[in-house]
Amino acid sequence: MERAGWQTGSWWMVGALLVAIPVAGMAADDGVMLLNDAASVLAAENGVVGELPPNEFMPDGMATEPLIHSSSPEMFLSNGQGACTTGNCTGSTAGGLAETYWLFDVIFFQRDNQSTDQVLAGSNGNALITTGEPQFTVQPGIRLFRGSIDDCGRGWELGYLGVWNMFASLEEGGPANIQGADPLSLAVDGFNDRSLARATYSSSLNTAEANLLLRSCHRGFSRVSAYPWERCGNYRRGTVDWLAGFRWAGLDEAAGLEFSGGGLPGQPFPGPSSYNVRSTTNFFGAQIGGRGRMEWDRWAIDGWAKAALAGTAMSQSADPIVSVFNPADQIRPARSATEGGVGFIGDININLSYRLNDAWRMRAGYNFIWLTGVALAPNQFDFGATNTAGTGLAGGGGVFLQGANLGLETAW
């Protein structure tokens, strides 16, 4: 759940820089070199574009370059018939940016929580288990994208990410003097004089997004480019996609606390006593972001950074707490609560991919996902003894996920 010091901010900034550098490098030309692009277009229309003489340092098979050249994004121009053309900046299909693509990743996430540090069980005044102690193991999940872009660089994209059944637990045992937190434990016979306390925590995350895309493309190899990667003989192209759309995320959680063993001499407890809570958080928000890609003959580097500001719908519920000696005796009935709020979703990814053939690539990368404004299940434990205890909702928690991905992508 919560790691010492909640030291995730630095990783978040590192990931943002890794994505921002290539995107900014290609996007910087958008305003600076626009006049050069216009000049190139006018020259082409008047038939004055020439070719450079052969160069002994030019890689074999590389076409000569126009005398008027810019590494800035291609301008989307009409060909006189209402269609868009993009010069020599080709997509997966010859002659333009148009492509349809699928992307599939398996992701291995490690999770940290930004939660309270409430004591759940103790012994002789010392805390044994708190809400921040159980640690999640690495959990696999999947990510899927489907998108399409036309020759004018306009497109759409649908995406899904799911990580299910994340699980953490912590168990503490000893002499029969373990008890739950006061003052509730004073009223629950099964929360005192126990020899074993066990906390469990399970969680599943699902997100879906729908985005509109606008792509700008940078030409390939250029000996006069300001960027070193474009001066590599096998450089193919670079693209920048600006995106805006809608994102939903759902976080469903459950937490349990169980006391067992122990009892008075000659009067052992007949069974365990438990306290179980559940929580849900749904995000509904607008998302913006950017995605950059640089392609060479076989290798490519790509990444994205997205942010969503969302409204949240949160809920929590708790099972009845009963006497261990007489389960029909409800010490606290079932409780529940709902509440709205505001949350944030941040998503950063960077990948290295290898082209297997004209249609398929293998990819590997790393991911950072951050959610704030969530109702974490362990935060819903309420050990108060009043009539309204357990009827409130504790929001304002945070979840940070990071981990590697491995997958395939195809485009045509």
Give the count of beta carbons closer than 10 Å to the beta carbon of residue 233.
15
Quick one: 45 and 111 in the same domain? no
Quick one: 174 and 50 in the same domain? no
Query: Are the beta carbons of 121 and 259 closer than 8 angstroms?
Result: yes
Around 278, how many Cα atoms within 13 Å sit in the side-chain half-sphere? 9
Quick one: 351 and 281 in the same domain? yes
DSSP state, residue 5: G
Token duo for residue 263: 């009892």
Backbone angles phi, psi at 230, to 5 degrees: -80, -15
Please enumerate in sequence order all residues whose Cβ is within 8 A of that of 241, keeping only pairs 6 or more positions apart, or say none.
149, 155, 213, 214, 215, 290, 291, 292, 293
Task: Report helix, strand or coil for 281.
Answer: strand
Quick one: 169 and 248 in the same domain? yes
Backbone angles phi, psi at 250, to 5 degrees: -130, 125
For residue 79, the model assigns a pLDDT of 40
For the full predicted model, state whether its pTM sits above 0.85: no
Q: Is residue 89 part of a domain?
A: no
Average pLDDT over residues 387-396: 94
Quick one: 45 and 176 in the same domain? no
Domain count within the chain = 2
Query: How much of the chain exceeds pLDDT 70, in percent?
Result: 76
Quick one: 63 and 140 in the same domain? no
Task: Report helix, strand or coil for 15.
Answer: helix
User: Is the predicted pLDDT of residue 351 greater than 80, yes or no?
Assistant: yes
Query: Are the beta carbons of 247 and 308 closer than 8 angstroms?
Result: yes
DSSP state, residue 220: S
Q: Is residue 92 part of a domain?
A: no
Q: Is residue 85 part of a domain?
A: no
Q: Is residue 86 part of a domain?
A: no
Quick one: 65 and 213 in the same domain? no
- Residue whose token pair is 């509730």: 184
Pairing mode, strands 77-78 and 84-85: antiparallel
Separation between Cα atoms, residue 257 and residue 255, nearest integer Å? 7
Q: How far is CA 73 from CA 147, 180, 200, 394, in A?
A: 21, 64, 53, 49
Quick one: 112 and 179 in the same domain? yes
Quick one: 144 and 253 in the same domain? yes
Token duo for residue 301: 């580097």
Query: Are the beta carbons of 371 and 309 closer than 8 angstroms?
Result: no
Quick one: 47 and 162 in the same domain? no
For residue 25, the model assigns a pLDDT of 47
Query: How much of the chain exceeds pLDDT 90, in percent?
Result: 61
Q: Quote the domain boundaries for residue 163.
A: 4-33+97-411
- Residue whose token pair is 């929001």: 395
b/e string for 242-258 if b means 16 or more Cβ within 10 A? bbebebbbbbbbbbbbb
Q: Is residue 84 part of a domain?
A: no
Q: What is the pLDDT of residues 75-98, one digit of tens each?
A: 343 344 444 544 445 544 434 578
Backbone angles phi, psi at 338, to 5 degrees: -130, 155
Separation between Cα atoms, residue 307 and residue 348, nearest integer Å? 9
For residue 235, give the amino acid letter. Y
Q: What is the pLDDT of residues 358-368, one digit of tens each?
A: 999 999 999 99
List residues bridging with 208 in a β-sheet.
160, 248
Quick one: 255 and 375 in the same domain? yes
Query: Are the beta carbons of 145 and 157 closer than 8 angstroms?
Result: yes
The CATH number for 137's domain is 2.40.128.90
- Residue ranges of the alpha helices (H) in 121-248? 184-187
User: Is the predicted pLDDT of residue 2 greater than 60, yes or no?
Assistant: no
Q: Is residue 76 part of a domain?
A: no
Q: Is residue 91 part of a domain?
A: no
User: Is the predicted pLDDT of residue 1 greater than 60, yes or no?
Assistant: no
List residues bridging with 238 in a β-sheet.
218, 294
Q: Is residue 80 part of a domain?
A: no
Quick one: 56 and 158 in the same domain? no
Q: What is the pLDDT of residues 235-283, one digit of tens each?
A: 888 899 999 999 999 999 999 999 999 876 777 788 999 999 999 999 9
Least confident of 39-43, 122-126, 190-194: 39-43
- Residue ranges of the alpha helices (H) in 28-109? 29-32, 34-45
